[in-house]
A = this chain, B = another copy of it.
Amino acid sequence: MDSKLTITPLGGIPQVRPGDDLAAVLIGALEAAGLVLRTQDVLVVTQKIVSKSEGRLVRLADVEPRPEAVEWARAWDKDARQVEVVLRESVEIVRQAHGVIISRTAHGFVCANAGVDASNVGGQDVVTLLPEDPDRSAARIRERVRDMLGVDVGVVISDSFGRPWRYGITDVALGVAGFRPLDDLRGRPDTEGRTMRSTVVAVADQLASTAELASGKTSRRPVVLIRGARLPAGEGSVVGDVVMPPEVDLFR
């Protein structure tokens, strides 16, 4: 059946360090798994290894927390230095309660802790920041894969975000390359022949969720290969196309 999708998580990815050529690491893992990339394949790469390869790390030992961070950390059993980094990465605090900080990042993402995540790199306590420009991160991987293998793939940089109204996190796209993250079906007929008036599908976010389903959070499989997805042709970006300006957001 040609409409079938296959989702393959890649194991065997080594610890990624700042300056690593992430595309070369991915290609190595694909080769080790006996997988040959094809045009229209999608590589979904979790944010954390992208951030590490780009050196988006802050050593907590170097962080001087502001008084509010110290106070909040004391009240909620957090590391004040990590709270400080969260505040630095936030351009707007959406909600701060019960030990959770939900904020808007400079990219426009609304998420817990501004995407700042504890990690350990080389035995030191560090936190990872979101990539500075995740669409550019995705484009860089795509270009490097094309240079090395001569294949045009789609790339998604993913992260796990909470959302309003429903418990649980789902993976969404932070950055994308090689296709448009939204499939605008307005004006096209639906399955009953009716013209769709408002249907715009968040393809990149669904690719990210699909990848998470296959990889899970407990095994080290930060890269997933999705084969068989229909990708909206063209170029686009998550920050430019998916992130909604607050002033037009009816759900807020």
Contacts and interface: CB of A to CB of B under 8 A. Distances in A.
A22 interface: no
A181 B170 CA distance: 12
Number of copies: 2
Interface stretch (A67-75, A81-89, A129-137, A158-166): A158-166
B168 A205 contact: yes
Given A188-B218, A217-B191, A100 B169 contact: no
Nearest to A33: B1
A222 B171 CA distance: 23
A196 B168 contact: no
Given A5-B214, A170-B202, A95 B250 contact: yes
Interface of A: 1, 3-9, 33, 94-95, 97-98, 100, 102, 108-110, 112, 118-120, 160, 162-172, 181-182, 185, 188-192, 194, 196, 198-203, 205-207, 209-210, 212-214, 216-222, 228-230, 241-244, 249-252
